[in-house]
Structure 1
């Protein structure tokens, strides 16, 4: 699992709107990656809407923002259209990226154990190193906190 000040694991993933995103190609700008469990669930929807609502503020400071889950592109497209999301969503269907970032974890809900994505956000600086990590994210106030951290880079 990568840690603060270490290089962010590189990847190339399909993105909503078409095409692919390669992390290393974004060097020169800060990147926010927010990992979330599943499209169209209450917390994930609130978080994705929050990042969409603040996307212009992130763009104003030169940051790129991406949501990432293991959902398919078809589900991402439907989710984005349903909620009017402007934040681009990346699809990690084979799970490699969620594992590389250490967010594919054992979860316990109602006494039942399963594997799933831990809600986490990585802030990657313009050199491609991890500047900040938020684990077990609580949605209220999170987007604003991440935006402040980007501004402080």
Structure 2
């Protein structure tokens, strides 16, 4: 099984389908698109791999990141959530919880495998990777059990340190 990419190495590139809750006052609108990591060169990207939509720890984690999107944007960073659920599940989760960043579907587990966080028969390990504007992994947090996650303040501090 591959190991997670070490800090200072190139982040494995990928393209995955995703959903994004569009801001608005009326009925929730969700856009579907493909997201390729290399297309975001020039901006840091926070990759938040999570085990499942609408589960207690995942909900706390992703709602926290969504509530702090202004802080990420102030640092020029995008945030993406990635799990094995399909787009319909992601859409329901985003609408129900107000998640305002892309939720990507790695239904085959191929991307989790390339990042060394796939768990056969279970899905993936909760993990966060900060990828800099050049596509290099600059910070990572990979859990063994998946009950903890880095809070948004820890992530924004790490992003601020990248900006120097």
TM-score by length of 2: 0.84
Q: Which runs of 4+ in 1 moved over 2 A?
A: none
2:123 corresponds, among 116, 122, 126, to 116
Cα drift, residue 116 of structure 1: 2.5
Check conservation: 2:84, 2:123, Cα contact below 8 A.
no
**CA RMSD, Structure 1 to Structure 2 (Å):** 1.2
Check conservation: 1:48, 1:87, Cα contact below 8 A.
no
1:26 corresponds, among 36, 40, 49, to 40
Aligned partners of 2:123 and 2:35: how far apart in 1? 23
Aligned partners of 2:102 and 2:11: how far apart in 1? 19
Could you tell me which residue of structure 2 aligns to residue 56 of structure 1? Answer: 70
Check conservation: 2:109, 2:123, Cα contact below 8 A.
no
Report SS of the residue matched to 1:15: strand
Report SS of the residue matched to 2:35: strand
Report SS of the residue matched to 2:16: strand
Report SS of the residue matched to 1:29: coil
- CA deviations 1:51-101 (Å, max 9, x no partner) are 100111101110010000000000000000011111211111111101100
Could you tell me which residue of structure 2 aligns to residue 77 of structure 1? Answer: 91
Could you tell me which residue of structure 2 aligns to residue 149 of structure 1? Answer: 158
Cα drift, residue 105 of structure 1: 2.3
How many residue pairs end up in the alignment?
A: 145
Instruction: Return 128-137 or 28-37, whichever deviates more.
Output: 128-137
- CA deviations 1:94-115 (Å, max 9, x no partner) are 1110110011126xxxxxxx43
Could you tell me which residue of structure 1 aligns to residue 25 of structure 2? Answer: none
5+ residue gaps in structure 2? 20-30
Aligned partners of 1:51 and 1:37: how far apart in 2? 16
Cα drift, residue 132 of structure 1: 0.6
